[in-house]
Amino acid sequence: MTSLNSGNPFACEAFLRTLPRLPQPLADAQRERIRVVLWDIQQRKPGVTQDIEALVEQDTVLQSHYEAAYTDLLRHYQANERAKSAAAAGSLTVEPSELERWAATILQTGDDVVAVARSVVKPMRTVVAVNTRSDFWERGDRIIALSAGGATLGAMIAQFPGAIIGGICAAIFAWSSYTPQSKQLDVRG
């Protein structure tokens, strides 16, 4: 997505995901400013991120919906990043060409950008992460980290015997306090 906007990788998608959330009808001036930004997205205009930010700052309603869409998009991205290590979760965001198609379709189909956006902008998929690592390895990661810390702390306090005792105590704590994380990450757009 960096080809669309090098400054903020989520701005264009968040803006497009904002449109279906807006109340209808829009004022003529607001609709025209939105259409200008849609044109910029479609044409991959440099600086489109700044245009989006300027437009959003001018209107409190647009700003609140944009911030909500941006937050949802960021949560979706973070959930996909967590799931990516365990299972293929698909694309992290919509491809730039898809964003351009959304913008072009909204521009071509008339003046009611909100109604058209509701039919064009696809919702974000729910991400399901299947944990393929066994509990032993999940616990092993935690044991290594905590026992190293315990051994270091024990060595600082009571030198070699303290390092042994601290490492063992931390390993026991890490093993016994481990609870598997949720197998499903549910993020809705």
Closest listed residue to residue 4, CA positions, set 83, 84, 76, 100:
100
- pLDDT bin (cut points 50, 70, 90) of residue 14 is very high
End-to-end CA distance of the chain: 18
* pLDDT for the residue numbered 91: 43
Mean of pLDDT values over 33-48:
91
118 with 22: CB under 8 angstroms? no
> 48-93, pLDDT tens digit by residue?
999 999 999 998 999 999 999 999 888 887 776 665 544 444 444 6
Q: Is residue 127 predicted with pLDDT exceeding 60? A: no
* pLDDT for the residue numbered 90: 43
Higher pLDDT among residues 39 and 79, named by residue = 39
* pLDDT for the residue numbered 142: 67
97 CB contacts (<8 Å, ≥6 apart)? Answer: none
* pLDDT for the residue numbered 163: 78
> 131-185, pLDDT tens digit by residue?
445 566 666 666 677 777 777 777 777 787 877 887 787 777 776 776 555 444 4
Angle 109-110-112 from CA coordinates, rounded to 5°: 110
Count of all residues that appear for the chain in the document? 189
Higher pLDDT among residues 16 and 83, named by residue = 16
Residue with tokens 């025209």: 32
